[in-house]
Amino acid sequence: MSARTDFFDHLAQTSDSPIGLQIVRADGSWLYTEDGRRYLDLIAGIGVSALGHGHPSVKQALTNQSERYLHVMVYGEYILDSQTNLAARLAKLLPTSLDRVYFTNSGAEAIEGALKTARKYTGRQKFVAFDGAYHGDTMGALALAGNDSFRVPFGTLPGPVQHLPYDDERALGAIDATVAAVVIEPVQAEGGVRIPSHSFIQALRQRCTDSGALLIFDEVLTGLGRTGQLFALEHFGVVPDLLVLAKALGGGLPLGAFCGSSDIIGTLAHNPPLGHITTFGGHPLSCATGLAALNVITEQHLSERAREIGDYLVQRLRELDDSCITAIRGIGLLIGIEFDEASHAQRFVAGAIARGVIINWTLNADRVVRLAPPLTITHEEIDFAVAAFKAALAEVSA
């Protein structure tokens, strides 16, 4: 049986129309398929492959760690230098009040841990999230989703959760002393690459402080250089109470984390002890590759690079000047192209893929196509993508 047949017969499908490329190799910004074609990966495995694919430092870290040990114990019991090195490095790079990290397997698991921490720390029940939000697909994270069509089919979810409009200061009055935590992406990705105003994020910080609600930043996609700062919080001059990371954090291996002060995160260690544990969270391989990737990101100043090359990409996109495109917005290398109709966005995505450029539209804004390439993408690769976009657009408008 071919891999393609087995894929359709034996793997659980997540949609009726998977991209279905059969990948045999990946290198730098490129994916190679079994039919001899190559594709420019302009979504970096949905934000994971910040250094592109197969970075030598990541591969070396993987080899070194695999020769020492793989899994040895549930997270939090043994002292493992792969974990402590990454935790200490993150603590140096983050604001001082975010100097304690809990490692998980994924972004959604880190969101769950952050929600539990907020309930335990505040003794309150309610959460606030935002329209257009995406925080993952476990039950607690899904309850925060700002899109009814993904939430409602799954019935009663953990709550109460109140959804507020994103980037609307007038709505913040709803955050009161009953709220355990407010969860927000400092830039919404699946919500259609929405970049809020400074004053909104600052007013949100103030409102949380005043009401005693914890402010949780979900930087699963925006963290580690993508937006032109190492962490998107730096754009807004505010510090959340808890910060959630994942995706690029593991350098290509599964890893999530939530970071906060020892005062806040410490509540998880008592009453009951072991109230939040994870077998594979903070896997030594993932922490080793994560540290290697983080070192490359900082030593090679890839957040600055994301800003510069992101500006170049936006400038080249603006040259496309097509009547189907109603807006182009970006922050570093997280860029949204908004179309007048969802069907146009879909045809554009299909046309780009057919021409060897992988892009996709966003879950909660089907008129917006998201670009989130590796931070190492070159000008030539961007020119290749823009040429493909031009040809794809000609078909959309035809």
Nearest to 260 by CA among 94, 29, 50: 94
Nearer to ligand PMP, 106 or 211 (CB): 106
Report in angstroms how near the CB of residue 251 gets to ligand PMP at its nearest. 14
Strand partners, 161: 127
Strands 23-27, 325-331: pairing kind: unpaired
What does the alpha-carbon distance between residue 136 and residue 202 come to, in Å, rounded to a whole number?
A: 25
Q: Least distance from C-beta 75 to ligand PMP, angstroms? A: 16
Other beta carbons within 10 angstroms of residue 233's beta carbon come to 23
Nearest approach in angstroms of CB 140 to ligand PMP is 11
Beta-bridge mates of residue 253:
251
State the helix-helix crossing angle for 284-299 and 81-93, rounded to 10 degrees. 30
What SS3 string covers 346-382? HHHHHHHHHCCEECEEECCEEEEEEECCCCCCCHHHH
Closest to ligand PMP by CB, 28 vs 146, is 146
CB-wise, 225 or 256, nearer to ligand PMP? 256
Which residues lie below 8 Å from residue 78, measured CB to CB, with a gap of 6+?
Answer: 72
Q: Given the complex with ligand PMP, which of 129 and 393 has the nearer CB atom?
A: 129
**Rounded Cα–Cα distance for residues 104 and 86 (Å):** 13
- CB of 185: closest distance to ligand PMP in angstroms? 5
Read off φ and ψ for residue 243, nearest 5 degrees: -125, 130
Q: In terms of CB distance, is 335 or 396 closer to ligand PMP? A: 335
Nearer to ligand PMP, 65 or 286 (CB): 286
Tell me the closest approach of the beta carbon of residue 338 to ligand PMP, in angstroms.
18
Give the list of residues 6+ apart from residue 239 with CB closer than 8 angstroms, or none.
95, 97, 98, 205, 233
Count other C-beta atoms under 10 Å from residue 318's C-beta: 10
Give least dist CB 176 to ligand PMP, A. Answer: 25
Angle at 308 (CA atoms; ends 319, 32), nearest 5 degrees = 75
Q: What is the DSSP letter of 194?
A: B
Find the shortest distance in angstroms from Cβ 115 to ligand PMP.
12
Instruction: Give me the least distance between CB of 244 and ligand PMP, in Å please.
Output: 7
Residue 392 host element (H or E):
helix 379-397
Whose Cβ is closer to ligand PMP: residue 195's or residue 386's?
Answer: 195
**Which residues, including other chains, have CB under 8 Å from residue 321's CB and lie 6 or more apart?**
none
Closest to ligand PMP by CB, 358 or 396: 358
User: In the complex, which residues of this chain contact ligand PMP (CB under 6 A)?
Assistant: 46, 106-108, 134-136, 185, 189-190, 218, 220-221, 246, 256
Comparison of 39 and 217: residue with beta carbon closer to ligand PMP: 217
Which CB atom, from 108 or from 353, has the smaller least distance to ligand PMP? Answer: 108
Dihedral sign from CA coordinates of 115, 119, 121, 124: positive
* Tokens representing residue 131 in the block: 């329209």
β-bridge pairing 38-41 and 100-104: unpaired
Asked if residues 229 and 238 have their Cβ atoms less than 8 Å apart, the reply is: no
Token pair for 76: 């939090």
Residue at shortest CB range from ligand PMP: 107
Nearest distance in Å: CB 189, ligand PMP: 5
Residue that has been written with the tokens 């509540």 in this structure: 267
The nearer residue to ligand PMP, 187 or 388, going by C-beta atoms, is 187
